[in-house]
């Protein structure tokens, strides 16, 4: 069976599982699953930027915050159910990204990472000072009275599931397109990429804006689920730290890596804060230790190491060469002679 068919079939199965899950799972697990899915989407977006365009952002929380605040404010102004104004979130985040790309792209490597963080901190500080957006204490979701709470958790889960599947499908589509080939060439060797005609700056810009849009949408969903937003939570640098952790241990520059990474991330969290009964602080220490071990043992992450050792292919984006279907030995000899 061709890869595409298998992938499409798996997608359908997953969609069916997501559709049915709220009818079997209890609310606590459903909430956890929603959180996993949203963080997976964010990690995919962070990976798009870091893994494929070489830009390591420590300020991606700013896009989460822009998306979430945009949702809360717009939904309040228009007085409609937050779900209908969701599209505002990615648009606002994308516009912000497109604007700040101009000065930020002058910076490279660590300077870019730190400038992103500083930018997020500045916007966070302004938000805390600004009473119009709730200041330090934040905002409740103004239109939460319009929400049907019987279906709230399932709806959140469905939205998160749709976003995650949609994101992975879109990224897969992107990677098998010729733009994706350009992205992967930059990931592998930007010097060689520009030398064969790839516009590295343009790639970076597109990846940056897409990445911001995705995080804006996932962030909006995440805070919509809380029905409340406060600057300390929205502009928390841990958002970027988690995305980075998930991508780096899972496998940077691959579509499968963040999926594996998110499973490890939540598995570890549930294990350490649950059965082991450790506090949140120890959990972060544990994450750090694991990240360091993975970086030493498998610098490109766990997924690439597994893939190369076991020869498994999941979301395979490699283009195979168009060989002549079947060339009989005699026929090829005739051609050669």
Partner 1 sequence: MAPLLRVNGLSKRFGEIVVADAVSFKLARGECLGVIGPNGAGKSSLLNLIVGLVTADGGSIMLDGAEITGLPPHRRARMGLGRAFQIPQPFPHLSVYENALVAASYGAGLHGEAASSWTMEVLQRTGLEAKADKLAGALPLIDRKRLEFAKALASKPALILLDEIAAGLTEPEVERLVAIIRTVKADHAIIWIEHIPHALRAVSDRILVLNFGRKVLEGPPADVMDSAVVREIYMGLKADGVA
Residue from the set 26, 102, 323, 335 that interacts with partner 1 by CB under 8 A = 323
Minimum Å gap between C-beta 113 and partner 1 is 23
Residue from the set 26, 131, 320, 334 that interacts with partner 1 by CB under 8 A = 320
Stretch that binds partner 1, among 9-17, 100-108, 274-282, 320-328 (CB under 8 A): 320-328
DSSP 8-state assignment for residue 321: P
Residue nearer to partner 1 on the CB measure, 49 or 186 = 186
Minimum Å gap between C-beta 320 and partner 1 is 6
CA 91 to chain centre: 16
**319 lines the binding site for partner 1 (CB under 8 A):** yes
Residue nearer to partner 1 on the CB measure, 137 or 177 = 177
Minimum Å gap between C-beta 184 and partner 1 is 6
Distance CA 263, CA 271 (A): 12
Residue nearer to partner 1 on the CB measure, 197 or 274 = 197
Q: Per-residue x/- mask for partner 1, residues 170 to 209, rule CB under 8 A?
A: --------x--xx-xx-xxx-xxxxxxxxxxx--------
**253 lines the binding site for partner 1 (CB under 8 A):** yes
How many residues bind partner 1 (CB under 8 A)? The answer is 26
Residue nearer to partner 1 on the CB measure, 130 or 189 = 189
Distance CA 107, CA 314 (A): 35
The closest of 78, 86, 117, 87 to 100, measured between CA atoms, is 117
| Radius of gyration of the CA atoms of the chain, in A | 22
**145 lines the binding site for partner 1 (CB under 8 A):** no
Residue nearer to partner 1 on the CB measure, 167 or 254 = 254
Q: Which helix (H) or strand (E) holds 18?
A: helix 3-20
Calculate helix-pair angle for 200-226, 88-104, nearest 10 degrees: 140
Residue nearer to partner 1 on the CB measure, 132 or 196 = 196
Which long-range contacts does 26-29 make (Cβ < 8 Å, 24+ apart)? 27/153
Residue nearer to partner 1 on the CB measure, 106 or 129 = 106
Minimum Å gap between C-beta 321 and partner 1 is 4
Do the beta carbons of residue 117 and residue 237 sit within 8 Å? yes
Minimum Å gap between C-beta 157 and partner 1 is 35
Q: Which helix (H) or strand (E) holds 249?
A: helix 238-250
13-50 burial: b if 16+ Cβ within 10 Å, else e: eeeeebeebbeebeeeebeebbbbbbbbbbbbbbbbbb
Residue 140 β-bridge partners: 228
Coil/strand/helix, residue 229: strand
Binding footprint of partner 1 on the chain (CB under 8 A): 178, 181-182, 184-185, 187-189, 191-201, 253, 318-323
């Amino acid at each position: 069976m061709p890869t595409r068919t298998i992938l499409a079939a798996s997608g359908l199965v997953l969609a069916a599982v997501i559709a049915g899950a709220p009818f079997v799972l209890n609310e606590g697990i459903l909430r956890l699953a929603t959180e996993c899915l949203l963080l997976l989407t964010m990690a995919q977006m962070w990976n798009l930027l870091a893994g494929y365009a070489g830009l390591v952002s420590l300020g991606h929380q700013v896009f989460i915050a822009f998306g979430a605040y945009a949702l809360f404010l717009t939904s309040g102004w228009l007085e409609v159910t937050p779900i209908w104004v969701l599209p505002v979130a990615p648009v606002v985040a994308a516009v912000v990204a497109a604007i700040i790309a101009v000065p930020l792209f002058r910076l490279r490597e660590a300077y870019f990472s730190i400038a992103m963080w500083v930018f997020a901190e500045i916007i966070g500080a302004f938000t805390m000072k600004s009473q119009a957006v709730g200041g330090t204490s934040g905002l409740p979701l103004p239109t939460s009275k319009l929400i049907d709470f019987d279906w709230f958790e399932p709806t959140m889960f469905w939205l998160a599931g749709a976003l995650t599947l949609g994101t992975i499908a879109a990224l897969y589509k992107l990677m098998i397109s010729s733009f994706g080939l350009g992205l992967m060439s930059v990931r592998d060797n930007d010097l060689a990429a520009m030398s064969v005609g790839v516009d590295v700056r343009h790639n970076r810009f597109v990846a940056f804006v897409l990445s911001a849009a995705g995080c804006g949408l996932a962030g909006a969903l995440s805070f919509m689920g809380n029905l409340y937003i406060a600057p300390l939570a929205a502009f928390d640098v841990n958002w970027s730290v988690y995305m980075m952790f998930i991508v780096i241990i899972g496998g940077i520059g691959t579509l499968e890596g963040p999926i594996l990474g998110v499973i490890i991330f939540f598995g570890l969290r549930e294990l350490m804060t649950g059965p082991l009964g450790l506090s949140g602080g120890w959990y972060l220490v544990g994450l750090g230790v694991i990240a360091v071990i993975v970086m030493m043992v498998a610098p490109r992450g766990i997924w690439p190491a597994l893939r190369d050792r076991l020869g498994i292919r999941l979301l395979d984006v490699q283009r195979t060469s168009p060989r002549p279907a079947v060339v009989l030995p005699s026929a090829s000899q005739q051609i050669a002679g």
